[in-house]
Amino acid sequence: MKILVVEDDELLRSAIISVLTGEGYSVEDTGHGDEGLFLAEQAIYDLLVLDIMLPGMSGLEIVKQLRLKTIHVPVLFLTAKDSIEDRVTGLNIGADDYLVKPFAVAELLARVKALLRRQGGGVEELLTYKNISLNPKLQEAYYESEAIGLTAKEYELLEYLALNRERILTREQIFDRLWGYESDSSYGIVDVYVHHIRKKMSVTGCDHFIRTVRGVGYMLKDNSQK
């Protein structure tokens, strides 16, 4: 699971990152509101942890902009404001939860895990599309009852497509989600991995589910649908 942390207090941000990475989450971060919006707009995160008072754009404005663009990633607000009015404002604009500073590490983790479970991010749940099923816990994929023998990275790519089924994902989105901004690879590696996945899916006759959107990227969609 990939989490974006937007917090301008460097010590607190470092502590949050340490806690989340220690739990096995992939974390990216920034201390500026404008950059936070730019990163969140890439739609590659499973959860946003946002401070409200940020340099540049506030956390509230970030969420407003994301919801206007129909990006419905779960949001956990972190803030020193603890009035009922402040909490209601944050929740009304589209946030999913609200944690007041200072907070205990155990409570932060509990709320993060609860939000990820709520959006279907629990590792125990099967992910299905048509006759394709994926087991996140085992990182295994099946077409009907037949296993599709994928490597770990191939599974991650197919899972990302399944989580965003019938929605176009650009090569840039896929690359940033699976390899990250600091990778030495190029966007072309996405095409290579899609080719490998299709080849393995062709054994069970389900390779047609990965549709190429020429010049843009890929999507998981039954080709029989127009």
* Closest residue by Cα to residue 54 from 38, 74, 68, 70: 38
Burial of 61 (0-12, 13-18, 19+ CB in 10 A): middle
Same structural domain, 28 and 90:
yes
Q: What is the pLDDT of residues 186-223, one digit of tens each?
A: 889 999 999 999 999 999 888 899 999 988 999 998 87
The domain spanning residue 216 has which CATH number? 1.10.10.10
| Mode of pairing for the β-strands spanning 97-100 and 75-79 | parallel
Residue 122 clears pLDDT 50, i.e. is over it: no
Q: Is residue 226 part of a domain?
A: no
Please identify, among 62, 88, 118, the residue that sits at the C-terminal boundary of a domain. Answer: 118
Q: Which domain holds residue 19?
A: 2-118
Same structural domain, 111 and 23:
yes
Q: Is residue 31 part of a domain?
A: yes
**Total domains in the fold of the chain:** 2
CB half-sphere exposure, 177, CA atoms < 13 A? 26
The domain spanning residue 83 has which CATH number? 3.40.50.2300
Same structural domain, 11 and 111:
yes
Distance (Å, whole) CA 65 – CA 43: 13
Distance (Å, whole) CA 187 – CA 2: 19
Q: Is the pTM of this model over 0.95?
A: no
Same structural domain, 111 and 17:
yes
DSSP 3-state of 36: helix
Structure tokens that stand for 53 in this block: 């008072």
Q: What is the pLDDT of residues 155-177, one digit of tens each?
A: 989 998 988 888 889 998 899 88
Q: What is the pLDDT of residues 21-30, one digit of tens each?
A: 998 888 999 9
